[in-house]
Structure 1
Amino acid sequence: MQHWITNIMTSLSYWGIGLLMFAENLFPPIPSELIMPLAGFTVAQNKMSFVPAVLAGVIGTILGAFPWYYAGKLVGEERLKGLADKYGKWITVSSQDIDKAQRWFARYGNKAVFFGRLVPGVRTLISLPAGMSNMPLAPFILYSTLGTTLWVMILTFLGYVLGDNYTLVDEYLAPVSKIVLVALIVAFIVWVVRKRQKAKRRRPN
């Protein structure tokens, strides 16, 4: 993976950064934690400039967020609620639960998108509920750009500072992505179990 990323960035320069960050949003196994630190290392070698490298990473990321955003819109709230009412009994998720989730995202959506862009394992996925909740495109782009810019700048700066050891960023952050993903799965399972327990207590004996 590292060799492949290095070859693309070496041959395409800033275009390579944008292309890789775009692909990273569509195929999460391609890690931004390796792409942007490598860009920072390249900046340290005076082969690139910091601001254009960050700009290329941000543009690639935002463009890569659109497919997930529009996928969420395609699924849509009504279709999702219909699926929940039809199949949700298996995990005790109803259209009312989706309504609650949508109200939560409507209230905290801007913050969720901004901070979601800073969390490994969530960065890509946050575009999906944004689209499903019909978050307006302008604030989605704004808060995605703000969060992404901060994230990309941090990674690029770390690569610049670490130099030859830029791969340490991915080594330390990759486990965080896995932990976050596992935590989300566990949280979902706990939520389902609690809902089932509540449903059992409500049933008449």
Structure 2
Amino acid sequence: MEDWIIHLVDATGYWGVAFLMLLETVFPPIPSEVIMTVAGVSAARGNMTLTGTVAAGTAGAMLGNWLWFWLAIKFGEARLHRFLDKHSRWLTLDWHEVERGEALFRKYGSTIVLVARMLPTLRSLISIPAGLFGMSHRRFLVFSTIGTAGWSAALAGAGYFLGSQFEDVEKWLGPLSTLVIAAIVVTYIWRLARWKPKAPPESETTST
């Protein structure tokens, strides 16, 4: 995977970075850790500027973020409830967890979005609760952009400062992308093995 990313970034520059980050946001197993680090290395070699690289990565990711946000708004809580009733086992999520998450999100939504944008996997998925739970478009755009730009800058900066040792960087790009994908799969399997539906508050009160 990393060879394809390197070749695309080298051939298309900023457009390639933006496209890959859009793709990564829509399809999270393509790791931004590899995309933006490769882009930073390319910037260090003089193919792009570091500022332009960060801007391209942020713009591409924000297009994907906005797509998920819009889809979540259109999907709505009522459809989500019905969907979870049918597929909660495989999603390792039930409606009671959604309700607890909604209460937390309404209180700390801006902070949650900002921080989540700088965390693997969550950085792509956080757009969904933001849309479902009615976060304003402006707050979503502002806090998502700040967090996404910070994440992109950190990764591109790491690649930029390591750019003079490209051969060494290239050696760990492959294992890094594999590790990210493996972590996502292992986390899901772990949740699936341990998951059981939570009893609603009324049931808990009755049983006691």
TM norm structure 1: 0.81
Task: For residue 75 of structure 1, report the CA deviation from its aligned partner.
Answer: 2.0
Alpha-carbon distance in 1 for matches of 2:45, 2:87: 55
Deviation at 1:69, TM superposition (A): 1.1
Tell me the residue number matched to 2:207.
203
Contact 2:17 2:39 in 1 (8 A): yes
Structure 1 window deviating more from structure 2 (172-181 vs 125-134): it is: 172-181
For 1:48, the equivalent position in structure 2 comes to: 48
Q: What is residue 17 of structure 1 aligned with on the other side?
A: 17
Residue matched to 1:57: 57
> What residue identity is the alignment partner of 1:41?
V
Counterpart secondary structure, 2:199: helix
CA distance, structure 1, for counterparts of residue 26 and residue 130 of structure 2:
16
**Corresponding residue number in structure 1 for 2:2:** 2
Deviation, structure 1 residue 100: 3.6
Partner of 1:160: 160
Q: CA deviation at 1:92?
A: 9.6
Instruction: Note the C-alpha offset of 1:5.
Output: 1.2
Q: Is the 8 A contact 1:102 1:133 kept in 2?
A: yes
Change (3 A) 1:182 1:119: farther
- 2:133 aligned partner: 133
Change (3 A) 1:189 1:140: farther
Task: Please report how far the alpha carbon of residue 79 of structure 1 lies from its aligned counterpart in structure 2 after TM superposition.
Answer: 2.8
Q: Is this contact kept in 1: 2:2–2:177, CA < 8 A? A: no
In structure 2, distance between residues paired with 1:105 and 1:79: 19
For the residue of structure 2 that corresponds to 1:124, the secondary structure is helix
**Matches of 1:203 and 1:8 in 2, distance apart?**
59
1:136-171 CA-to-partner distances (Å, cap 9, x unmatched) read 111111111111111001101111122213343674
Secondary structure at the aligned position of 2:125 is classed as coil
Q: How does 1:1-205 map to 2 (within 5 A)?
A: 1-82=1-82, 93-94=94-95, 98-163=98-163, 164=166, 165-167=168-170, 168=172, 171-172=175-176, 175=179, 179=183, 192=196, 195=199, 199=203, 202-203=206-207
Contact 1:20-1:35 within 8 A present in 2 as well: yes
5+ residue gaps, structure 2, are none
Query: Secondary structure at 2:119's aligned position in 1?
Result: coil
Answer whether contact 1:122 1:181 (CA < 8 A) is retained.
Answer: no
Q: Which amino acid in 1 is paired with 2:135?
A: M
TM-aligned CA distance change 1:46 to 1:98, over 3 Å:
closer
2-structure distance, mates of 1:89, 1:69: 21
Aligned partners of 1:101 and 1:59: how far apart in 2? 28
C-alpha contact 1:18 1:59 (8 A) present in aligned 2: yes
SS in 2 for 1:71: helix
SS of structure 1 residue aligned to 2:122 = coil
Higher relative contact order (CA 8 A, sep 6+): 2
Going from structure 1 to structure 2, the CA distance change for 1:76 and 1:189 (only over 3 Å counts) comes to farther
